[in-house]
Structure 1
Amino acid sequence: MPDDVDEHIGARIARFRKQRGLLQQGLAMRANISKSLISKVECGQKPASAALVAACARALNVTTSDLLGQPFIEELRRDRLDDLIQPIRVGMENWDVPHDQEIPPRPISLIRVDVQRLLVQRREADYMPMARDLPAVIDELVHAIHTTAGEEQRQGYECLANAFRCIFTLSWNFGYIDLATVALDRIALAAPRADEPGLAAMHAYLRAQTILSSGRYEVGMLVIDQALRDLGGAQMRRSEDLSALRGSLHLRAAVIAGRAKDADSADARLADARGIAQASGELPSYGLTWGLPNVGVHAVAIACELGQWDQAIEISKSVRIPRDWSRSRAGHHWMDLGRAYFWANRPEKALDCLVRARRIAPQQTRYHPTVRETVLAMKRRERVRSSALAQYAEWIGI
């Protein structure tokens, strides 16, 4: 059954804490968090920040997914999305052993068209068709790299790395963190054979995302800075790719700093990214959403990481999202802003933002922990039953 309305992140922290035989003070000492904050989070008076979730997960020896309640199995089954995960798992079991197939693969140029379509679906958060097509594309690419050589084979590895990137996004957003980790390892194996420095930088960008969830912020920053140094001497096939990758890495570093509550470092990294974006303009390199609007939405997200809800709302007023922008990025922005409006005691605006996120990127929104936690908190605090909120809660499965 879907989680009970009371089973928010704080309630899960309390449940695991009691299973471990810990008092709130004991968990606070292990997680290096104040007992007062633990108490308020467990009873839903304060939001469970990503940093707090990571710290409590380490202290309780569980995964962040355990505390987030992911994956939301019943909801995935309802949408029949769980049926699409197992074929991907099977497809990920082999990438380095040649297939015994009599039918030759298509030319890499034709397979590349399919991979580019998958990357567009990834940016648009159109996950169902992407999940359906990924296993067959990976099988064909694995067959291709073992039956080609030279530039054809190099491009095959590049396509394979990008297919694994799609799997990373899909797995991460649906809460299958183990599968996302496998996809990350596959990118690391395929990227060097693709002889494409940008893929190595992309691997670092994604790796830092997984490190964020474990709370090892210093490691994440080291990974980002090493990738930036490597890009400094890289020969890119397109010079504009360098700007998009460098800027995106600085944004990831800014998020890490925000998660670590280092506002000064976060501001410095945002300034670095903003300077790059002002010089480069909007760029679609490596499927990234790069440009000044992305710097703006990251500034909003970082203010939320710091618990600066009013500031996040104020920053958002100067953010102008282009009409043709990435749906996944735009949807995430409205989720963040919805959370900010709720904790700034403006629940009507919060729901408006969540409705916009649903309209822009429904599959991403339905399965995102931020949305779930915000809606749970809104339901606990509502004094007069709202049919709009009830309908939205039913849509996400609570």
Structure 2
Amino acid sequence: MPGTSATALGLRIKTARLAAGLTRQQVYDASGVSVSMLRKVETGERAPSDDVLGALARTMRTSPEELTGGPARTDSRVHLAIPSLQRAIAGYDLPEDGPTRPLDELATAVVAVVEDRVQSQYARLAQQVTGLLEELFRAVDQASGRDRERAAHLLALAVRSADAVAYKYGYRDLSGRLVELMRWAAELAGDRALSAAADYVRMEIFFSANRLGPGLRSLRAAVDRMPAPTTEPLAAAAAALHMRAAVAAGRMGQADDARAHLREAERLAAEVRERLYDGTAVGPDSLEIHRLSVAVELGEPGDLRAAVDAAARWAPPRGLPAERRSHYYIDLGRAQVQLGRPQHAAESLLVARQIAPQHVREHGQVRAELATMVRLTRGRDQKVLALARWAKAV
């Protein structure tokens, strides 16, 4: 079972057992795995042999692969689109000949894929973005001067949309290549705000590799490279970097740094209208959503209770992108789980699912949250179980 710690595997096995409605004695009766052995496996004290793992999987009506690696990803339409996307970016700087629409028409197409991204329409996005990227590669290759800069700007935004699909559906190597391609296109465009957006997206690589220290340093370096926020896009770009840095510092347990970044983001966000800036939602409402995220990452009970109480008085406006609104309710659910309120967390996740089902179903933290909720409720809450099965958390 390479790559799977005994503790993580034990939690998955316990979650699967509770989701199946089985006691340890019942597992023993059906599989022959002793109660004491199962207890040691579930607590991470012992790693199961292949034979034990197979017996447990059969009893819990799952597979050894799902117990060791977690449930499979969901939407086949996205997975079917990935190979063509991989082929398309392999020769990004040596595009093949083909038709290329005028830049105004390409801009309209880019707006559509960005909208699909922020509204969490990943299946449709995956089916549309590859052909658009190929066209934009040709546009960049064929243009010069300001037209080339504009084509590169459009390419950076389209690549970011493609990256959302790769990252959320678990194609981390592909996501890393797309992030570097976005940074390349942003440099060609000669736009500092766009380059900052690429630095913001780059943090995904550090999150997925659990390399938070280098990631936070990269965000701070990006902040240092920012020119004075003399325009709304520059102020929004700097605010976004500080918001993401606050979350990263919070996840590292650096409370003072997280709050300092939030204060700086608050100062900058007060100067901009809430809207998308190079694909990132920035403004006062987005700042409120990040306050909750930071509280959840820090995990301090007083802050968590204050954040949950604040949620009773404020909700993300409907005008915000679906991805960002659903993320607020995901984090609210995480806060409620940490406070020992799994039933309230289920209600928050149901709201998140109603807003952006594809986003919620593919969100790794949602799966972890739901697995914890199954354990907290000992598999007896049908609403929690139904959500966990829908998200393939069990």
TM range (shorter): 0.7 to 0.9
Aligned pairs for 1:316-395 (under 5 A) are 316-383=311-378, 385-395=380-390
1:92 — aligned with what?
A: 89
Q: After superposition, give the CA deviation of every residue in 1:255-297 in whole Å (9 maximum; x if it has no partner).
A: 1211111111111111111122223242322122111221111
Question: Are 1:8 and 1:376, in contact at CA under 8 Å, matched by a contact in 2?
Answer: no
Question: Are 1:300 and 1:312, in contact at CA under 8 Å, matched by a contact in 2?
Answer: yes
Equivalent position amino acid for 1:372 in 2:
R
Cα gap change, 1:97 to 1:256, in 2 (>3 Å): same
Question: Are 2:78 and 2:165, in contact at CA under 8 Å, matched by a contact in 1?
Answer: no
Equivalent position amino acid for 1:91 in 2:
A
2:111 — aligned with what?
A: 116
Task: Give the drift of 1:111.
Answer: 0.8
Equivalent position amino acid for 2:296 in 1:
C
Cα gap change, 1:13 to 1:208, in 2 (>3 Å): farther
Q: Distance in 1 between matches of 2:320 and 2:68?
A: 28
1:220 — aligned with what?
A: 215
Q: Distance in 2 between matches of 1:68 and 1:331?
A: 29
Question: Are 2:235 and 2:272, in contact at CA under 8 Å, matched by a contact in 1?
Answer: yes
Cα gap change, 1:146 to 1:317, in 2 (>3 Å): same
Cα gap change, 1:208 to 1:214, in 2 (>3 Å): same
* RMSD, aligned CA: 2.9
Q: Alignment length, in residue pairs?
A: 340
1:256 — aligned with what?
A: 248
Task: Give the drift of 1:391.
Answer: 2.4
Q: Distance in 1 between matches of 2:368 and 2:5?
A: 6
2:187 — aligned with what?
A: 192
Q: Distance in 2 between matches of 1:289 and 1:9?
A: 39
Equivalent position amino acid for 1:132 in 2:
Q
Q: After superposition, give the CA deviation of every residue in 1:7-26 in whole Å (9 maximum; x if it has no partner).
A: 999424889xxxxxxxxxxx
Cα gap change, 1:219 to 1:8, in 2 (>3 Å): closer
Question: Are 2:81 and 2:127, in contact at CA under 8 Å, matched by a contact in 1?
Answer: yes
Check if 1:130 corresponds to 2:129.
Answer: no
2:267 is paired with a residue whose SS is: helix
TM-score by length of 2: 0.79
1:261 is paired with a residue whose SS is: coil
Equivalent position amino acid for 1:212 in 2:
F
Question: Are 1:304 and 1:340, in contact at CA under 8 Å, matched by a contact in 2?
Answer: yes
Question: Are 1:9 and 1:67, in contact at CA under 8 Å, matched by a contact in 2?
Answer: no
Task: Give the drift of 1:208.
Answer: 2.3
TM-score by length of 1: 0.78
2:286 — aligned with what?
A: 294
1:32 — aligned with what?
A: none
Q: Distance in 2 between matches of 1:391 and 1:179?
A: 32
Check if 1:278 corresponds to 2:270.
Answer: yes
1:146 is paired with a residue whose SS is: helix
Pick the structure with greater CA Rg: 2
Question: Are 1:9 and 1:69, in contact at CA under 8 Å, matched by a contact in 2?
Answer: no
Runs of 4+ in 1 over 6 A off after TM superposition: none
Cα gap change, 1:205 to 1:67, in 2 (>3 Å): farther
Task: Give the drift of 1:305.
Answer: 0.9
1:58 — aligned with what?
A: none
Cα gap change, 1:346 to 1:98, in 2 (>3 Å): closer
